[in-house]
A and B are shown apart, each in its own frame.
Chain A
Amino acid sequence: MNLTRSMNLYRFIPKAKIRHWMMALVMIFSFGVNQSAFAQSIDATPDGLIKNLVNEVMNTLKTDKEIQAGNINKVMALVEAKIVPYTNFQKTTQLAMGKNWSKATPEQQKQVMNEFKTLLIRTYAGALTQVKDQTVTYKPFRMDPTDTEVVVKTQVMNRGDAIQIDYRLEKVGESWKVYDLNVLGAWLIEAYRGQFNNQISQNGIDGLIKFLQDRNAALAKAK
Chain B
Amino acid sequence: MKITGFISRKGLQLIVLSIVMSFFVGCASIPEGQPRSKKDPWELVNRNVFSFNESLDKYVVKPITQVYEFIFPVYVRERFSNVFANVGDVYTAVNQLLQGKPKTAVEDLTRVIVNTTFGIGGIFDVATEAGLEKHSEDFGQTFGVWGIGDGPYMMLPLLGPSNVRDTVGWAFDLQTDILLTYIDNIPVRNTITGIRIVDQRSKYLSSTSLLGEAAFDKYTFIRDAYIQRRRNRIYDGNPPLIDDDDDIPDEMLEKEESRVR
Q: Are B203 and A190 in contact (CB under 8 A)?
A: no
Q: Are A201 and B35 in contact (CB-based, < 8 A)?
A: yes
Contact B237 A150 (CB under 8 A): no
Number of interface residues of A (CB under 8 A): 49
Is A157 at the interface (CB under 8 A from chain B)?
yes
**Is the C-beta of A175 less than 8 angstroms from some C-beta in chain B?**
no
Give residues in A with beta carbon < 8 Å to B: 94-95, 98-99, 101-102, 119-120, 122-123, 126-127, 130, 132, 147, 149-151, 153, 155, 157-162, 164, 168, 182, 184-187, 190-199, 201-203, 211, 215, 219
State whether A159 and B215 are in contact (beta carbons under 8 Å apart), knowing that A185-B232, A191-B225, A191-B228 are contacts in the complex.
no
CB-defined contacts of A95 to chain B, threshold 8 Å? 248, 252
Determine the chain A residues whose CB is within 8 A of the CB of B252 once the complex forms. 94-95
Is there contact, CB below 8 Å, between A211 and B249? no
* Residue from A187, A190, A194 in contact with B220 in the complex, judged by beta carbons closer than 8 Å: A194
Q: State the majority secondary structure of interface residues on B.
A: helix
Question: Hey, which chain A residues are within 8 Å of B213, CB to CB?
Answer: 119, 122-123, 126, 215, 219
Q: Select the stretch in B75-83, B168-176, B181-189 that faces chain A.
A: B75-83
Contact A150 B260 (CB under 8 A): yes
Q: State the CA gap A160–B124 with chains docked (Å).
A: 9
In whole angstroms, how far apart are the Cα atoms of A186 and B207 in the complex?
15
Segment touching A, from B5-13, B26-34, B46-54, B64-72: B26-34
Measured CA separation A196–B134 after assembly (Å): 35
Complexed CA–CA distance, A182 and B134 (Å): 18
Residues of B near A98 (CB, < 8 A) are: 247-249
A-B contact pairs, 23 of them (CB 8 A): A99-B246, A123-B213, A150-B260, A153-B237, A158-B203, A159-B77, A160-B82, A160-B125, A160-B134, A162-B135, A185-B232, A185-B233, A186-B228, A191-B228, A192-B221, A193-B224, A194-B37, A194-B220, A194-B223, A195-B217, A196-B216, A201-B34, A202-B32
Complex Cα distance, B31 from A202, in Å, reads 8
* B33 contacts A202, C-beta separation under 8 Å: yes
In the bound complex, what is the Cα–Cα distance between A102 and B221 (angstroms)? 23
Task: Give A155 to B133 CA distance when docked, in angstroms.
Answer: 10
CB distance from B124 to the nearest CB of A (A): 10
Asked whether B210 lies within 8 Å of A126 as measured between CB atoms, the reply is: yes
Residue of A nearest to B115 (CB): A160
Residues of B at the A interface (CB closer than 8 Å) are 31-35, 37, 74, 77-78, 81-82, 84-85, 125, 128, 133-136, 203, 206-207, 210, 213-217, 220-221, 223-226, 228-233, 237, 246-249, 251-252, 255, 258-261
Docked pose: A150 CA to B260 CA in angstroms: 6
Report Cα–Cα, A10/B17, bound state, in Å. Answer: 89
Q: Which residue of A lies closest to B34 (CB)?
A: A198
**Known contacts A98-B249, A102-B249, A186-B232; A195/B224 CB under 8 A:** yes
In the complex, are the beta carbons of A159 and B34 less than 8 A apart? no
Minimum distance in angstroms from A178 CB to a CB of chain B: 14
4 interchain residue pairs of minimum CB distance: A185-B232, A98-B247, A160-B85, A185-B229
> Does the CB pair A94–B232 fall under 8 Å?
no
